[in-house]
Amino acid sequence: MPDQNYLHLEANHDEGARDAFVLSLKLHINLGMAPGLKTVYEKRAVPAFEKVHGRPPKDRHEVRRQMLEEDYFQMWGSLWRTAQHLMWESSETKVDRQLPELNKRAKVKGRKLGSLRLDPKLEMPRYLTAVHIHGQPGGYGLDQSDDDVSAGAFYEQGMLLYGRGQGHPASGNPAQNIADFVKTTYPGLKPRKILDEGSSIGGCLPVMAKEFPGAELHAIEVSAGMVRYGHRRMEDMGLAVHFSQQNAEHTDFPDESFDLVVSNIMLHETSAAALRNIMKDCHRILRPGGVAVHLDVPLRNKDLDLYTEWYRDWSTHFNNEPFWGKLHDMDVIKPLVEAGFAREKTFDTYLKNRSGDGVWWACGAQK
Ligand SMILES: C[S@@+](CC[C@H](N)C(=O)[O-])C[C@H]1O[C@@H](n2cnc3c(N)ncnc32)[C@H](O)[C@@H]1O
Give the per-residue pLDDT at 3.
47
Give the mean pLDDT of the chain.
92
Domain covering 175-366: architecture: 3-Layer(aba) Sandwich (3.40)
- The pLDDT of 64-92, averaged and rounded, is 96
Beta bridge partners of 243: 116, 219
Whether 179 shows a pLDDT value over 80: the answer reads yes
Domain borders along the chain are 13-107+127-166, 175-366
Nearest CA to 329 among 299, 362, 296? 299
Give residues (CB < 6 A) around ligand 1.
Answer: 125, 128, 140, 197-200, 203-204, 220-223, 226, 247-249, 264-266, 269-270, 274
pLDDT, tens digit (0-9, with 9 covering 90-100), for 236-249: 899 999 999 999 99
Predicted model pTM: 0.94
The CA 70 to ligand 1 mean position distance, Å, reads 35
DSSP symbols for 161-222: HHTGGGT--SS--THHHHHHHHHHH-TT---SEEEEES-TTTTTHHHHHHHSTT-EEEEEES
Distance 197 CA to ligand 1 centre (A): 7
- Residue 109 near residue 232 (C-beta atoms within 8 A): no
- Provide the pLDDT confidence category of residue 301 given band limits of 50, 70 and 90: low
Q: What pLDDT score does 112 carry?
A: 84
| Atom of ligand 1 minimally distant from the CA of 249 | 19
Find the DSSP H helices in the chain: 13-27, 34-40, 46-53, 60-67, 71-106, 126-129, 150-162, 175-185, 205-211, 224-236, 272-285, 306-312, 314-318, 324-329, 333-338
Distance from the CA of 267 to the center of ligand 1, in angstroms?
A: 8
Report the residue among 123, 266, 295, 323 best suited for mutation to probe ligand 1: largest number of ligand atoms under 8 A from its CB.
Answer: 266
So what's the pLDDT on residue 2?
A: 39
Q: What is the mean pLDDT of residues 157-184?
A: 83
pLDDT digits (tens, 9 = 90+) for 214-236: 999 999 999 999 999 999 999 98
pLDDT single digits (tens) 5-49: 666 788 899 999 999 999 999 999 999 999 999 999 999 999 999
Query: Is the model's pLDDT at 164 over the cut of 90?
Result: no
